[in-house]
């Protein structure tokens, strides 16, 4: 336990896990070396999922993380489900992607931001989405079915289905045909 600025910080554990610890653990799941999984009791993994080296799945004690069938997650990703995170079927998530579902408010300027209220907002990634290397998806975003997120993009708002977006912040490039 660490005490800092009169706040008590507790360890989240070491990220180790067993199959039996998960809310649901499907068949043919490959979890590479170095993957850390926190709160697996709130995580559901469907069948045929690949999770790349050194990825962190950060479950949260009061919400859930669902990953759909046939999804591929590259190495060094960070998926945070404090506000809920639902990833559909056959989603491709490139290396180093970050998906966040909570943030600190800045409502009281008399205290450090990290001690302000935490807001939780669900993130939904629909079936067949492809997320490019290093993209960042912010809390509350919904990404429509069959969309493509360009490498390095920052997704700050909803993405319509079958569209291609890229940039920081991401903008519409074109509709898919």
Active-site residue, 104 included: yes
Could you report how far apart the first and last alpha carbons of the chain are, in Å? 54
Distance CA 21, CA 31 (A): 14
Sorted by sequence, the CB contacts under 8 Å of residue 52 that are 6+ apart come out as 32, 35, 73, 74, 75, 76, 77, 95
Helices and strands, number each (H, E), in the chain: 0, 24
Q: Determine which one of 53, 80, 104, 115 is catalytic.
A: 104
Long-range CB contacts for residues 25-34, cutoff 8 Å, separation at least 24: 26/69, 32/75
Q: In degrees, to the nearest 5, what angle opens at C-alpha 61 toward C-alphas 159 and 4?
A: 100
Q: Which two tokens stand for residue 16?
A: 């180790």
Q: How far apart are CA 27 and CA 82, in angstroms?
A: 25
Pairing of strands 43-45, 65-67: parallel
Known catalytic residues are: 104
């Amino acid at each position: 336990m660490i005490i800092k600025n009169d706040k008590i910080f507790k360890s989240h554990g070491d990220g180790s896990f067993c199959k039996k610890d998960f809310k649901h653990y499907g068949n043919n799941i490959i979890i590479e070396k170095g993957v850390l999984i926190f709160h697996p009791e709130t995580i559901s993994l469907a069948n045929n999922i690949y999770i790349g080296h050194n990825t962190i799945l950060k479950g949260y004690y009061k919400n859930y993380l669902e990953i759909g069938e046939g999804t591929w997650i590259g190495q060094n990703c960070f998926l945070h489900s404090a506000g809920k995170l639902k990833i559909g079927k056959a989603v491709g998530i490139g290396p180093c992607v970050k998906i966040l579902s909570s943030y600190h408010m800045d409502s009281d300027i008399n205290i450090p931001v990290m001690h302000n209220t935490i807001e939780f907002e669900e993130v939904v990634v629909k079936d067949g989405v492809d997320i490019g290397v290093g993209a960042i998806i912010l809390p509350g975003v919904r990404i429509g079915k069959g969309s493509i997120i360009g490498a390095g993009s920052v997704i700050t708002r909803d993405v319509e289905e079958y569209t291609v977006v890229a940039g920081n912040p991401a903008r519409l490039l074109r509709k898919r045909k």
